Amino acid sequence: MPTPSTDPRPRRRSRVPGLILLVLALAGAAYLFRAGLVPASLNPLPAIDLATPNPWLVDWRLASLKYQPALCRQVLVAPQIEARPIADNPLREGCGWINSVRMASAGGVGAGFDRLTCEAAAALALWLLHDVQPLAQEMLGQRVVSVQSFGSYACRNIVGNPLLKSWRSEHATANALDIAAFVLADGRRISVLGHWRGDGAEARFLRAVHGRACRYFRVVLGPEFNEAHSDHFHFDRGPFMRCQ
């Protein structure tokens, strides 16, 4: 007869199930933060301060504004930004807006948008204040006094991508904006259409500010993306990530 095992060592349990559960829990928590679904009372992240450059965990802290009007009013304050809340327009057929503002300026730059989500307005303010203005001074020797845009809210589908043409654009929820040009203090106009493909200071400025926007917006598109964006930058705070 076989001799029964007398090995006194306890059998080691596999750590794999526990590690899988830990990874799933962390992924779930990351999703909640990224989607702005963590209630303000449970969110350990401090409110973002528009006056502070290079904020840490900037994407999650911007996302925390998504469904929090009180936090939005706390963050979007002068002199960093001039914006005031507007009434919600609940979604109908994929179009509408919630927790949005009417924006006039940020970082000393005239930037008028009638309807823009709080998180997109905060992202725009950070970009204008901490990236656009310093780069304009450094590369063009002038401050930017205003941006010229193609607007923010538009009840429409995605344009320029045949695979996504049946999807609603982030513009349909006021969570996107398009910028066509920058006006300098001396009156010069630096346009995406007119200067992007050059090799002078204007082109270098446009490429620099385009790249810096990727820190605050999840989708940043320009002339290198497709023909539909040959004359403007598209910025949005939607669920996808792309910088091109």
| Beta-sheet pairing, 233-236 with 219-221 | antiparallel
Instruction: Kindly report the average pLDDT of the chain as a whole number.
Output: 92
Which tokens in the block code for residue 83?
């914006």
pLDDT per position as a tens digit, 55-93? 999 999 999 999 999 999 999 999 999 999 999 999 999
Residue 136 counted as domain residue: yes
List, in sequence order, the alpha helices (H) in 55-157.
58-63, 69-75, 118-127, 133-140
| Beta-sheet pairing, 219-221 with 144-151 | unpaired
| Beta-sheet pairing, 233-236 with 176-184 | antiparallel
Are the C-beta atoms of residues 142 and 136 closer than 8 Å to each other? yes
Residue 4 counted as domain residue: no
Residue 7, pLDDT > 70, answer: no
Residue 210 counted as domain residue: yes
Of 15-24, 71-80, 105-114, 226-235, least confident by mean pLDDT is 15-24
Please, which residues have CB within 8 angstroms of residue 40's CB and are 6 or more apart in sequence? 64, 68, 70, 71
Task: Give the CA angle between residues 110, 122, 233 to the nearest 5°.
Answer: 65
pLDDT per position as a tens digit, 132-159? 999 999 999 999 999 999 999 999 998 8
pLDDT of residue 158: 86
Residue 161, pLDDT > 90, answer: no
pTM for the whole structure: 0.90
pLDDT of residue 29: 81
Residue 2 counted as domain residue: no
Nearest to 237 by CA among 141, 106, 137, 97: 97
Residue spans of beta strands (DSSP E) within 44-108: 81-85, 89-92, 95-97, 100-106
Residue 192 counted as domain residue: yes
Residue 7 counted as domain residue: no
Provide mean pLDDT across the span 24-42.
86
pLDDT of residue 3: 54
Residue 16, pLDDT > 90, answer: no
pLDDT of residue 25: 77
CA–CA gap between residue 93 and residue 90 (Å, rounded): 10
Q: How many domains does the chain have?
A: 1
Q: Which domain holds residue 165?
A: 16-243
Region of residue 129 (phi > 0: left; psi between -120 and 50: alpha; otherwise: beta):
alpha
Please, which residues have CB within 8 angstroms of residue 34's CB and are 6 or more apart in sequence? 59, 60, 63
Residue 8 counted as domain residue: no
What is the residue-wise DSSP string for 188-236?
A: -EEEHHHHTTS-SHHHHHHHHHHHHHTTT-SEEE-TTT-GGGTT-EEEE
pLDDT of residue 171: 98
3-state secondary structure of 185: coil
Q: What is the CA radius of gyration of the chain?
A: 23
pLDDT of residue 128: 98
Residue 10 counted as domain residue: no
